[in-house]
């Protein structure tokens, strides 16, 4: 019996790897990700908008604060 996938496979390109890096960094920092952020990282159909850029910028700012401590 073959596996039936309902979602098409996401192309593993530069954007895919950037999303995975963000997810791994957040998990390594024990940062709590909200459901919307997890959906963004998992959903290949979301186009980067101002709101997603804001999330990425804020995550980078939190990481910079951790380095200063």
* Residue 41 near residue 23, CB atoms below 8 Å: yes
Residue 45 in any domain: the answer is yes
- pTM strictly above 0.75: no
Residue 35 lies in a domain: yes
Report yes or no on 9 lying in a domain: no
Name the domain count of the chain: 1
pLDDT value at residue 45 = 56
Residue 34 phi/psi, 5° resolution? Answer: -80, 160
Q: What is the pLDDT of residues 41-62, one digit of tens each?
A: 665 555 555 444 555 555 555 5
**Amino acid 19: pLDDT:** 81
Residue span of the structural domain in which 46 resides: 14-68
Closest CA to 23 of 15, 13, 11: 15
* Domain membership flag for residue 50: yes
| Number of C-beta neighbours around residue 40 at 10 A | 19
Check residues 12 and 67 and name the one with the higher pLDDT.
12
pLDDT digits (tens, 9 = 90+) for 22-38: 888 877 777 666 666 66
């Amino acid at each position: 019996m073959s596996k039936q996938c309902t979602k098409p496979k996401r192309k593993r390109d530069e954007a895919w790897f950037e999303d995975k890096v963000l997810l791994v960094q957040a998990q390594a920092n024990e940062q709590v990700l909200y459901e919307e952020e997890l959906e963004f990282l998992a959903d290949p159909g979301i186009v980067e908008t101002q709101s997603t850029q804001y999330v990425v910028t804020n995550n980078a700012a939190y990481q910079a604060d951790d380095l200063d401590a």
